Amino acid sequence: MTHILEKTQTDVYLDFIGENPCIKIAQRMFERCKPYFVRPVRPKDRQTCCCKYHVEFKTVFKSCMEFRKKLLIENEPNECYSTPVYDSISDVVNATLCEKVDGSHDLQCLKRNCSDCGVKILNFLPCELDVSDTAEFVKWEKFENVSVNVKGNKTIKKLMLVKKKKVKLVNCFHISEN
């Protein structure tokens, strides 16, 4: 059975060095120690979308997880034990779906028609659910058409990522519901 790395070999090496600072090994030697059945990802192994909606969602997700990390540092540990910081969008999606049956999720869960799963099963810190005017906002980026000056005193509209700060953390996860 072949295993495909979901990270680059450099990322795996850096994670290993971070977790094992007492072990001194060069990156090339580390890569040579990789088992024969583990191989790096190839372009055909990944299907990625670079449309503005997916790129925007990735920036919102990343900002929300950074915000959550900051809140977890500020709050007491006993309050945070059931509030994970997700590494990827896939992780949070899987956390909001019922368990896989025969290697895949049920179609009703994927279509969000299941009453047992959804964003409602995620755990939030109390300050993440705060919708008052004094609550802290998440800073993120959104695609917008922006007027840009070009040669000859012309102005054109250009699609650009613009910094925002109006989304609260609980709304980050409800975006995936729509």
Instruction: For residue range 107-159, list pLDDT tens digits in order.
Output: 888 888 888 888 888 888 777 777 777 777 777 788 888 888 888 888 888 88
CB 150 within 8 A of CB 136: no
Q: 30 — phi, psi (to 5°)?
A: -60, -45
Spatial separation of the C-alpha atoms in residues 136 and 130, rounded to whole Å: 8
Q: Are both 107 and 153 inside the same structural domain? A: yes
Nearest of 49, 45, 70 to residue 125 by alpha carbon: 70
Domain of 14, in residue numbers: 3-45
Q: Are both 31 and 63 inside the same structural domain? A: no
Q: Are both 78 and 21 inside the same structural domain? A: no
Task: List b or e across 34-67, with b for residues whose CB sees 16 or more CB atoms inside 10 angstroms.
Answer: eeeeeeeeeeeeeeeeeeeeeebbebbbebbbeb
Q: 150 — phi, psi (to 5°)?
A: -125, 180
Q: Are both 39 and 57 inside the same structural domain? A: no
Looking at the structure of the chain, the number of domains it has is 2
Q: Are both 74 and 118 inside the same structural domain? A: yes
Length of the chain: 178
Q: Are both 40 and 103 inside the same structural domain? A: no
Q: Are both 34 and 69 inside the same structural domain? A: no
Q: Which three-class secondary structure state does DSSP give residue 75?
A: coil
How does pLDDT run across 30-89, given as a tens digit for each residue? 989 989 888 877 766 666 677 888 888 888 888 888 888 888 887 766 655 678 888 888
pTM over 0.85: no
